[in-house]
Each structure stands twice: as structure tokens, then as C-alpha cells.
Chain A
């Protein structure tokens, strides 16, 4: 009896396998299409992941990965016991907090405001203006800030002086680094960030607003009870992605703002990796720093996703 059922199962498996094979063969041109893409990801994304191994080595470029000496967790130990670790950790955390608590709500608020505008010409005009900074490089954003904030005839300091407040050295003063950082982030990205929320809002059924008006709900209540629930899922997905970017605070941006007088508040993991690795040639140590950062980011995004699912939201995967 056993053998009589086993044979058809085997046959079935064989048949299915040849069917899969036929499907692969039929799509051979498709595989050819995605081949360059896969090769790209393997070489420039996955090979560097293999390269993380050097954080456990005393890597010397002329010896290569195979020839370098294994030192275990030495570099990680050095990182965690370094006097600078907590400074960098704190700076990274503060900028992350500013991104989540100060920047993140702003595009949502602007979207809600834009959604209330009924003149489409006015709406499009505002949108056009606030999208523009997104297309500027960080170099341009920082350069414009620089020429406006410099003590040496910068427009902002001239105005402060004119109103008798006195000039402020924004560029070199430690206390002004964080406000400057987050204001630049808002300036560049808040407008562009509205696109995705506005897209989600357009999916709302207008009859809902109609019904709410009948019930006497004012504009704020309509926003609160109709618009915001409609975009809640998008908000959560973007928040998760933002948290996943926890440590991607923009190497370029911070590096451009960093100088010797604000280093105590401006040095973050990325800039530290750059200086230690490429300027001082400590490849293994700086890779260990980057590795630590990457792992924390991965854990954060998995955690945020788990949290979202726990609260019955969709999550990102």
C-alpha cells in the first residue's frame, strides 16, 4: 500500500520539476535582462558585506584579506572603550531624535494644510516652490547657509545687527550646530516629503467629508477623524523606513558642516569612519565602527517593523 502512493508522488514531483525547468527556459531572455543588475548588486553591495570581515582582522592592504592577521573583537573593544565613543553615540542619537521628533511631523502637517486648499493654482504654486530645495545638493544648501550666516557680511547677521540683537557666529558656535542641521534638513526635504502623503490623501472618498460636515464636524475634526486615519498606514511605513535610516543621518550633510570648533556635537559615526578610515588609514578599526552602526540600524528597523505589526499595521515586509 505504501509503495502504491509513493510512486505517484515521485512522478508528480518529477513532473513539477520539469515544468519549473520549462518555465525557466521560456524566460531565459528575462534572466539575461536582470543578469547585469544582479552582478551589480553582488559586486558593489554584497562583496562589501563580505569585506566587513576585515573588522576582525589587522587588515593590511598589501597582504589582502586572506593574508591579514585575525584579531577577533579587538577593534570593537577599542571602539567601546574609546573616550570618543559616547560622544559620537550621543551626537548620533541627538540628530536622530531631531529627525524623528522635529523633522518627521512637518511634511505631514504641510500635506494636511495643502489638502485644505481649494484653489488648485495656489496649491500647485506652493508645491512648486517647496519642492525646489530637494533638487539642490547638500553642498549648495550648506553653501547658501554659509554665505547667509557668515559674520563677514552675511545677510542674517546684518539683519540681527540692524535690529540691535548683535551678530552671532552660527557657523563656529557649538550651540548652533544642531538647530542649523535640522533647519537645513527641513528646508531641503520637508516640501518634497509631502508628495507621498498628498498621494495617500487623494485616495480619501470625498463623501466622507460631506458626511462629516453634515454632522457638524469643523475643519480640524474632519482632518483628525478622516484625513489622518486615511494616511496612517503611509505614516507608519515611512516612520519605519526613517527609523531604519537611524544612523544614515547624511554623511555628506554633516561632513560639510563639521569643523574643528563644533566637532564635540557634530561628529557622528559616518564622519568618524571617514576620518579614521580614509584619512588616517585605519581600515580595520573604521570598518568595525561602520559595522556596529549598520547592525544597530538593522536591529532598529526589524524592531520597528515588528512593533508596527504588533499594532496590526502593515509594516514594510
Chain B
């Protein structure tokens, strides 16, 4: 009996050791490419050319960054991305919250029909071309609004918010109603303040989507001045051999492209990575995401 028990714990220990090693490796492999990119972006051109496996540069250099900011091409794209991300997130949160709260009210006549109408858009949609034609006919082509208005509400995000509102204690609303608050007052003064974790999480989801927007930009914007940074990154790293895709000249002597490409990847990623630690604690409340069911 005692023997058996010991064997189990031995096997269990071995299991733990292997499990920890595998998970540590997984985390490492996931993150190594990013370290390689960040490291190379701060390396000198000579070191990048000579080092086979570069993670941390021995000689620190910001030449690549100086280079990409020597004209305003990338800076302008970053500004566009920031505007779209901030504006789009506010816009989407406003309408998603209003819709989610309204549909969380179980006494709403017609609620089931409207819910079905929204869930159905997850299962079937008009597709790229008909949507393009609607965007065109609503006059959004070549405007930054084209990156925002056609994606005002993400049905998944709305459903997560709605489930969160539905799980709030019902007594709150009742007491506020007795105090004479109307529905808008209840939403903005009571429901939203106690739902901040959910609001923060969904805001992050929207912000990430807006920051990463690429497809809508290539579909709806032909004016290169309005391109967000993702489109430019694509041009610089994969398509173009040179950074001056729109005819702009860089006055400096170009450093090797590798460090410039790496630096461009870093600046087009960094803003989201800066927000991540602040919101990470909310992901732990993963249960929030467990309610995707319509």
C-alpha cells in the first residue's frame, strides 16, 4: 500500500517537472521572435550583419529610429492610427454599451427578435463586395470614418457586455428608479461605474482591433496620406524595397534595411504593448469571456 502511494507521487513529480519545462519552453518560443526584432532594431548595422543569432545588441544604437522619423511618413501614419484607435474605441463603446444595456433588460418587448437579428450577423453576412458598395454609397470612401462606422458594433463584444449587465444585481436599478432616475441616468450613473472591469476589457478589444486595422484601410482608403501604420508597415517590410513608397525621399544615407524594418515593426506594435499590462489583470477574470453564447 505504502509502496503504491510513493510510486504515484514519483510519477506525479516527474509529470510536474516535464509540464513545467514544456510550458516554460512554450512561453519562451512565443516571445523570442519579438525579442529578436526589438534587439535587432537597437543594434548597429554592422552587428546585425555579423551576428547569426541576435537577441540583445552589444552596442546600442537608435539610428534606425532616427532614420524612420527623419521624414514625417511614419509619424503621420502613427498619428492616423492613434486618431482612429481613440476615436473608434470611444464611438464603438458608446453604441455597444447603449445597445448592450438596452438588450439586457428582460422586460423589453421585441428583445428576442432583435437579439436574433444581431446573432444572425455572426453566422451570415453580405460579404466583401456588397459591404464595399454600402460603404461607398454612404459616402465613407477615402475618409477615416470608413475605418470606424462600418465596424461600429462588434456583435461578440456587445453580447459579452450584455451578459455582464444581465448578471448585475437587479435591486440596483429598482432603487434608482424609485429615486426618480430615468434609464439613461441609471445606465451612466449606476450601471457603468460598477461595470468598469467589463468596460475596460471590451474597450481594449476594440482598441486592439482599431490599432490593427489593415483590411478596411486597403479596401476603403486609396489616399496614401490617410493610411494607418499597419498599411505602411506592410509596404516597408514586405512589398517595397525602399521606404519612399509615396515618392518621399530620405535625405540621410540609408542604413541597412534590416534594422529599419525591425524598428518599423516595433513602433507599429509598441502602443498596444504599453496598454497591455494595465489591462492584463482583467483577463484573469476570464469568466467574462465565458459567456459568448447568445
Contacts and interface: CB of A to CB of B under 8 A. Distances in A.
B126 interface: yes
Contacts of B20: 117, 122
Contact of B238 (A52, A146, A270): A146
Given A153-B49, A196-B290, A251-B215, A45 B125 contact: yes
A246 to B, nearest CB: 11
B265 A44 contact: no
Given A45-B126, A155-B52, A33 B19 contact: no
B85 to A, nearest CB: 12
B2 interface: no
Given A117-B23, A297-B124, A143 B130 contact: no
A278 B233 contact: no
Interface string A109-150: 010011011100010111111111101111110111111100
Contacts, number: 275
Interface in B246-269: 258, 261-262, 265, 268-269
Nearest to B15: A219
B127 A273 contact: yes
A82 to B, nearest CB: 17
B31 A132 contact: yes
Nearest to A122: B20
B230 interface: yes
Interface string A192-219: 0001101110100000000000001011
B152 interface: yes
Given A33-B187, A277-B129, A38 B114 contact: yes
The bracket for how many chain B residues form the interface is 35 or more
Contact of B103 (A34, A124, A293): A34
Contact of A48 (B4, B101, B134): B134
Contacts of B214: 137-139, 252
Nearest to A287: B129
Interface string B44-87: 00001100111000000000000000000000000000000000
B119 A277 contact: no
B289 A43 contact: no
B contact patch SS: helix
Interface in A210-257: 216, 218-220, 234, 237, 241, 244, 251-252, 255-256
A191 to B, nearest CB: 6
Interface of A: 20, 23-24, 27, 29-31, 33-34, 36-38, 40-41, 43-52, 54, 61, 110, 113-114, 116-118, 122, 124-133, 135-140, 142-148, 153, 155, 158-159, 162, 187, 191, 195-196, 198-200, 202, 216, 218-220, 234, 237, 241, 244, 251-252, 255-256, 270, 273-274, 277-278, 283, 286-287, 290-291, 293-295, 297-298, 301, 316-317
Given A37-B158, A54-B133, A148-B36, 18 more contacts: A20-B109, A23-B107, A37-B96, A44-B151, A49-B130, A51-B129, A61-B133, A116-B19, A118-B16, A124-B284, A139-B212, A162-B52, A199-B286, A220-B15, A244-B123, A278-B132, A294-B124, A317-B294
Interface of B: 4, 8, 11-12, 15-16, 19-20, 22-24, 26-28, 30-31, 33-34, 36-37, 48-49, 52-54, 95-96, 98-99, 101-103, 105, 107-109, 114, 117-119, 121-135, 138, 149-153, 158, 182-184, 187, 208, 211-215, 219, 230-231, 233-234, 237-238, 258, 261-262, 265, 268-269, 272-273, 276, 280, 283-284, 286-287, 289-290, 292-294
